[in-house]
C-alpha cells in the first residue's frame, strides 16, 4: 500500500510518454517521407516497434537470470538518451531539414 500511489503515477507517466512518443514517430514519418512511401515506412516502423516489444523482455529475462537486472535498465536508459539526443539534433536543431516541434 505504501508504494501504490508512486507506482500508479509512474505507470501513468510512462503510459502517457509512450503514447506521445508513438504519435510523434508516426507523425514525423508521414511528414518526412513522400506520400507514396509513407505507407511502407509506417509498416516498417510498426515492425521495429513490435520487435522492441519482443526483445526488451528477453533482455530483462537474461539479466534477471544473471542476477544483474540493473544492467538492462542502464543499457536501455543509455539507448533512450542517445535516441533523444539524435532526434533533438535532427528535428529540433537550428539546421533541421524538417521542423517537428
Tens of pLDDT along 28-65?
888 888 889 988 999 998 999 899 889 999 999 999 99
Residue 72 burial (CB count, 10 A):
19
Is the CB of residue 72 less than 8 Å from the CB of residue 60? yes
Does position 68 have pLDDT exceeding 80, yes or no? yes
Extract the C-alpha cell encoding 26: 508516426
Distance, in Å, from the CA atom of 19 to the CA atom of 60, rounded to the nearest integer, reads: 22
Extract the C-alpha cell encoding 61: 529475462
Write down the pTM of the prediction: 0.69
Cα 56 from chain centroid (whole Å):
11
Amino acid at each position: 500500500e505504501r508504494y501504490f500511489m508512486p507506482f500508479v503515477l509512474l505507470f501513468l507517466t510512462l503510459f502517457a510518454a509512450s503514447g506521445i512518443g508513438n504519435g510523434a514517430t508516426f507523425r514525423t514519418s508521414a511528414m518526412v517521407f513522400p506520400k507514396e512511401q509513407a505507407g511502407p515506412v509506417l509498416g516498417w516502423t510498426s515492425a521495429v516497434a513490435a520487435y522492441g516489444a519482443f526483445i526488451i523482455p528477453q533482455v530483462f529475462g537474461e539479466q534477471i537470470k544473471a542476477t544483474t537486472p540493473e544492467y538492462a535498465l542502464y543499457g536501455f536508459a543509455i539507448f533512450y538518451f542517445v535516441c533523444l539526443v539524435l532526434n533533438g539534433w535532427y528535428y529540433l536543431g537550428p539546421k533541421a531539414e524538417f521542423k517537428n516541434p
